[in-house]
Amino acid sequence: RKFGAHYHDIFLQAIPATVDLVNEEELPAIRGTALVCLSSYINSMKNGVIPMIPRIVPAIILGSSAALEENATQMSRLDLSASLTALEALAQNLGSFMAPNMIDILRILLHENVVNSDDES
């Protein structure tokens, strides 16, 4: 967890490739793993990811939207969990940067698959 804080520059360079995986990958497992990586970057680097916010937030929204569009399989539920983890990391560490995307974020959080996810677990 502290590795990202100590090696800020190295991890900052890895963020664009991770964002590209979220944006371009069709396989839920890879997209979900990339979303978990983004949440780890945000949790460990905190304000250090601010320069990448314009790329990170849209990727998280895209990944979340893609997870919601998939059929209700075990993999899509894991993908949705990964995207919600990334949104949680964003809210906990950089909540003030969510305002420009709040409508999209609320649309994701209020989606019936998210609201009803506790009933299925």
The total number of structural domains that make up the chain:
1
Cα→Cα distances 77→40, 57, 85, 112, Å: 19, 20, 12, 13
With a CB cutoff of 8 Å and minimum separation 6, the contacts of 29 are: 75, 78, 79
**Is the distance from CB of 55 to CB of 13 less than 8 angstroms?**
no
**Rounded Cα gap, residues 117 and 38, in angstroms:** 22
Residue numbers of the domain that contains 64: 3-120
pTM: 0.86
CB atoms near residue 37 (< 10 Å) = 20
> What is the tens place of the pLDDT at every residue in 32-76?
999 999 999 999 999 999 999 999 999 999 989 888 887 666 677
